[in-house]
Amino acid sequence: QTIASGDLLADLVASTNGGIVTMTEGLPSLRDVRAGRIAVGRGWIGITPRDAYRTADVSVTPLLPAWLALLLAALLVIGAWLREGRR
């Protein structure tokens, strides 16, 4: 028994020509549809291509400094080696 339902989003989905489908019969196939067209059918779900591929800015921040990551990795290797040697 499935307890999840699309009742909360039904009005929003209907206003955008979308649909709510259950996946009990397997995964639906994907199709490209034009804007304003019905985006759901029997066994398929439509995707409206928007050509949104441009990335304006990306910044990457390391979780740890490189020296600390190396030290942590070395300590883990040594700890594993010592533990393995006790067996």
Query: What are the φ/ψ torsions at residue 32 (nearest 5 degrees)?
Result: -80, 135
| pTM exceeds cut of 0.85 | no
Distance CA 37, CA 46 (A): 9
**CA quadruple 9, 13, 19, 24: dihedral, nearest 10:** -10
pLDDT in tens, the chain (87 residues): 667 788 888 898 888 888 888 777 788 888 998 888 888 888 888 888 887 878 888 899 999 999 999 999 999 999 999 999 886
Contact of 17 with 36, CB cutoff 8 Å? yes
Domain ranges for the chain: 10-47
